Amino acid sequence: MSKILAIETSSELASCALLDGDRVIARSTSGVRTHSQSVLPMVQELLGEAGIRLADCDAIAFGAGPGSFTGVRTACGVAQGLAFGAGLPVLPLVTLEAMAESCRARTGATEVLAVLDARMGEVYWAQYRYDAARGAWIELAAPALCAPQDLAPLPAEGLAACGNGFSAYPEAFAGKPFAAGALDDILPHARELALLGAPALAAGQAVPAAQAQPVYLRNKVAYTSAERQAINAAKGAA
């Protein structure tokens, strides 16, 4: 039975979880300014509650993104540091798939559209189908970045939608059938990462700590002063 430590800090919610055989214990805290300070104490609490050492784990999973630029780097850096120290492999897992797993746990849905607020008037999204025979998610639409009004999921019967992208841009999604009844309170959480980590480890998806990388879908996260001035000038001219 696998022991997976999971770390997730890609949104305003920071969480850690430990899969120990057939049980999962978790901790979470909100407030993006405290993520880097809160993760290690949560990890220590989980290991203490389970009565195991970090080295007893089989792997360390983390939310590799997409998500907050700083947040995914925080989770990656902490996971790498812990893995180096304990001699463990790392599992970089997709945050949107963790959201799909949370949606399935709550509703039983096997066709899921996950939409995460990417700020700057955009959303991260992906679409999944759960294969019960394999106990794994199939990626129907790979993680992508777009304006909310441009999001176009693939046709799927019984499609369930989740994620804070829907509450962040309600006007853009108004009237769209796939957005009806969306569970907009679902965020990436380490609990689902820990559960996804066991099959990912069995499938050989673990990598050495040095090879762990975040998933970045937005290459440009900030503008220079000169770029902002040029953008404002262009808007003024328009």
φ, ψ of residue 75 in degrees (nearest 5):
-60, -40
Q: Using CA atoms, how far apart are residues 13 and 34, in angstroms rounded to an integer?
A: 10
Q: Which CATH superfamily is domain 96-179 in?
A: ATPase, nucleotide binding domain (3.30.420.40)
Place of tokens 């784990």: 57
Residue length, the chain?
A: 238
The mean predicted confidence, pLDDT, of the chain is 91
Range in 27-36, 77-86, 155-164 with the lowest mean pLDDT: 27-36
Range in 19-33, 37-51, 99-113, 118-132 with the lowest mean pLDDT: 19-33
Residue 205: band (very low, low, confident or very high) from pLDDT cuts 50, 70, 90: very high
pTM of the predicted structure, to 2 decimals: 0.89
List pLDDT tens digits, range 103-162. 999 999 999 999 999 999 999 999 999 999 988 999 999 999 999 999 999 999 999 999
Residue 232: band (very low, low, confident or very high) from pLDDT cuts 50, 70, 90: low
Mean pLDDT of 50-73: 96
Residue 33: band (very low, low, confident or very high) from pLDDT cuts 50, 70, 90: low
Pick the CATH number of 3-94+188-211 from 3.40.50.720, 3.30.420.40, 2.30.30.40, 1.10.540.10: 3.30.420.40
φ, ψ of residue 169 in degrees (nearest 5):
-135, 60
The CATH 3.30.420.40 portion of the chain extends over: 3-94+188-211, 96-179
